[in-house]
Structure 1
Amino acid sequence: MNRPLPTLKPAVRTIAVTVLLWTAITALGALQTYSDNLRGGAASHYPSLFVKWFLEYAVPLIVLSAGLSLALGRWPVLLERPRNVVGLFFGLVLVFQPAQWLYMAWLRGYLPIDSAGALWQLLMKMLLVGWFSTTGTFAAILAIHYWRQARARELAWQRSQTDMLGLRLALEEQRLLALRAQLEPHFLFNALNAISALVRDGDKTLALGGIGRLSDLLRYALTASVRNTATVADELGFVRDYLDLQRLRYGERLRVHIDGVSELLEQVACPSLLLQPLIENALRHDLDCREGPGDIRLAFERDGDTLCIRVANPAGPGTPANPGAGLGLANTRDRLRLMHPSASLQAGLQGDRFVAEVRLPLALAD
């Protein structure tokens, strides 16, 4: 019993709009005829003209417009192929057009017809009266139907794009969380290694100091884990603390030169825990691979609308072309790409040094 309700309201709306439209057209047509009669000096009565126009012209075209609109709405397959459109038009010509002519002839008193000649004259009169209005109505209904179909496809496409964008954003957020979950244990593992080395050496005082520094580092890491971005200045402060912890392990061998520090670093946004994996990578491929003091260089330089960050360390003769393809650098590269399409990380040998270069857009931090 409730099934016809969803289709009843659109049908009523279609019929109501059709009646209103043709009533308005009838009012304008009757007004034009009334004006022409007055200019020609003929007696004229506008209400009578309106009723005549409505009964003779509007009623058939209301039936055609509403019936065709409802049929196309219910059976859109009627217009799926050009031959269907042609067939529908010829059906209109063969069925509706004669019915309209007979209706108008009945209203005008042309019936009954007593000869073939009278029938021919009637057809000629009705041809000029109804052909163009009927054909024009058919064309207008088809145009409106095609427009509605195109609009529906466009809205469906927009909804699909919105859904895809939402799904992609959700996937990117989950991926970012996964990258963070990988990075933080990785950092913790390496920091604990530094402290465990002090314990093995029997230096409890330095080990306790290292644990204190580690707690400060973990406090920053936990805070950073709930933020998408940090400032480069904050990350530099975290790296300095991290180097102080590593200095307990490496002693005077750990030498890091930092250049280009300015107020600009307070304004540039970057992924949290950005610099630490780069410095850790440099330590692993510098101090852990050779004897003697290290030579790690961290430099900041503005290049147009980009902040360039370079971390460089010496590369021995047997160093592979891409020694920095581990978890830390891989995660850093992915997190940069998720933060901004123009952010990037390039790493590789440049002469006798391995260089990791980060490029960040000069976007204000949150």
Structure 2
Amino acid sequence: MKSSLYHRLQPFARIVAVTACLWTAISVLGALQTYSDNLRAGVDSHYPALLATWFVEYAVPLIVLSIVLSSALTRWPTLIARPRNVVALFAVLVLLFQPAQWTWMAWQRGLLQIASVQDAWQLLLKMLLVGWFSTTGTFAAILAFFYFRQARERELAWQRSQTDMLNLRLALEEQRMLALRAQLEPHFLFNALNAISALVRGGDRPLALHGINLLSDLLRYVLSASAGTTTTVAAELRFVQDYLDLQRLRYGDRLRMHVDGADALLQEVPCPPLLLQPLVENALRHELDCTEGASDIRLAFIREKDVLLVRVTNPVGQDAPPNPGAGLGLANTQDRLRLMHSEASLSAGRQGERFVAEIRLPLASAD
């Protein structure tokens, strides 16, 4: 209960303290200016008395105005949401506060001895120009402060909404990446198990056991790579070579792949996990599974300015479809590249008598 009351009174106490300090400082400067003017004019005066007059006559009414108006706008910020509301507030200032301020100042100066209507009229004419500048200036300054604070709060709210939106988008993209990877890893596992099952059906149990050991090593890499969002092209190349060792247990000497351009640069180029395996597995499936001869799969790494090209090609027959094998593996690879970097891409299609899958990886982050 006490804590809640404290939090409610804290903004009001801050307004009172700031307003009192501000107008006290203005009174000190105003009294000093009056004292200086009196000295130059040869008028005897006392600075403490001038300070008291300045504070009581000018500062006290404006402190009250500042506190009341600031408290009202803090509690009801919609009071200045529309121009007509501001006009209404200014009308209250003119019709209520200004006469009250004149009466206060006239009482402090001993001018309220009114014997006739003429005396009242003369007093009104005398006070008509008193306090207008300071009162309207205070009113305008308070409104400007609250307009600025509202604009600042809207800007901060907009920034928070943008940050929340970006965080949400990032979370969605990460979930999408995980979903794509969850689709891809069973796909890889299914093809690896197919290679081992072919050995089991062939009755070669020692070779099948060796294949299981190779698969265990591959799965160990998949699990470690899946813990992060990126790996390196060099690590992916080693994984593909191990994957091909497993597939050779099934295809034998028919499985042949030539690698060109593998150098130290590949250690520095980031890429999504399981980037190369779908491309190589796609080449295997649409060459060795469709022909009886040896494969002619080529994997090349080519640097072009600030881009690394990763190109996987394999022969296609004359009766093959225009885009053979562009299925789940390649589609997922393309989506994961786009999520990793906006300039990374995958293109795949038939070029003459070969099917070409080409990845473009920016090198800016690797230099």
Decide: shared fold, TM above 0.5: yes
Partner of 2:329: 328
Partner of 1:297: 298
Partner of 1:134: 135
Partner of 1:246: 247
Aligned residues of 1:324 and 1:348 also touching (Cα < 8 A): no
Partner of 1:228: 229
Aligned residues of 1:253 and 1:292 also touching (Cα < 8 A): yes
Distance in 2 between residues matched to 1:118 and 1:316, nearest whole Å: 114
Aligned residues of 1:179 and 1:331 also touching (Cα < 8 A): yes
Between 97-106 and 310-319, report the one with greater CA deviation: 310-319
Whether 1:204 aligns to 2:224 is no
Distance in 1 between residues matched to 2:319 and 2:102, nearest whole Å: 98
TM-score using structure 2 length: 0.93
Shift, 1:363, TM fit? 5.5
Shift, 1:282, TM fit? 1.2
Whether 1:182 aligns to 2:173 is no
Shift, 1:223, TM fit? 1.9
Between 63-72 and 34-43, report the one with greater CA deviation: 34-43
C-alpha RMSD of matched pairs (Å): 2.0
Shift, 1:156, TM fit? 1.9
Shift, 1:205, TM fit? 4.1
Consecutive unaligned residues of structure 1, counting only runs of 5 or more, are: none
Whether 1:191 aligns to 2:192 is yes
Distance in 1 between residues matched to 2:129 and 2:93, nearest whole Å: 16
TM-score using structure 1 length: 0.93
Shift, 1:210, TM fit? 2.2
Distance in 2 between residues matched to 1:120 and 1:349, nearest whole Å: 100
Runs (4+) of structure 1 exceeding 6 A deviation are none
Identity %: 72
Whether 1:349 aligns to 2:343 is no
Distance in 1 between residues matched to 2:325 and 2:150, nearest whole Å: 55
Shift, 1:135, TM fit? 0.8
Shift, 1:162, TM fit? 2.7
Partner of 2:44: 43
Distance in 2 between residues matched to 1:99 and 1:239, nearest whole Å: 88
Q: SS where residue 128 of structure 1 aligns?
A: coil
Partner of 1:306: 307
Shift, 1:190, TM fit? 0.2
Aligned residues of 1:268 and 1:363 also touching (Cα < 8 A): no
CA change 1:348–1:124 in 2 (3 A) is: farther
Partner of 2:29: 28
Q: 1:19-168 counterparts in 2 under 5 A?
A: 19-168=20-169
Q: Which amino acid aligns with 1:307?
A: L
Shift, 1:4, TM fit? 4.2
Between 311-320 and 293-302, report the one with greater CA deviation: 311-320
Shift, 1:10, TM fit? 0.8
Shift, 1:120, TM fit? 3.5
Partner of 1:255: 256
CA change 1:122–1:329 in 2 (3 A) is: same
Distance in 2 between residues matched to 1:80 and 1:311, nearest whole Å: 64
Between 327-336 and 54-63, report the one with greater CA deviation: 327-336
Q: SS where residue 112 of structure 2 aligns?
A: coil
Distance in 2 between residues matched to 1:68 and 1:252, nearest whole Å: 90
**What do residues 29-70 of structure 1 show as CA deviations (whole Å, max 9, x unaligned)?**
111111122222221211111110001110110111110011
Distance in 1 between residues matched to 2:161 and 2:15, nearest whole Å: 28
Q: SS where residue 349 of structure 2 aligns?
A: strand
Shift, 1:160, TM fit? 2.4
Distance in 2 between residues matched to 1:227 and 1:85, nearest whole Å: 57
Q: SS where residue 286 of structure 1 aligns?
A: coil
Distance in 1 between residues matched to 2:127 and 2:325, nearest whole Å: 88
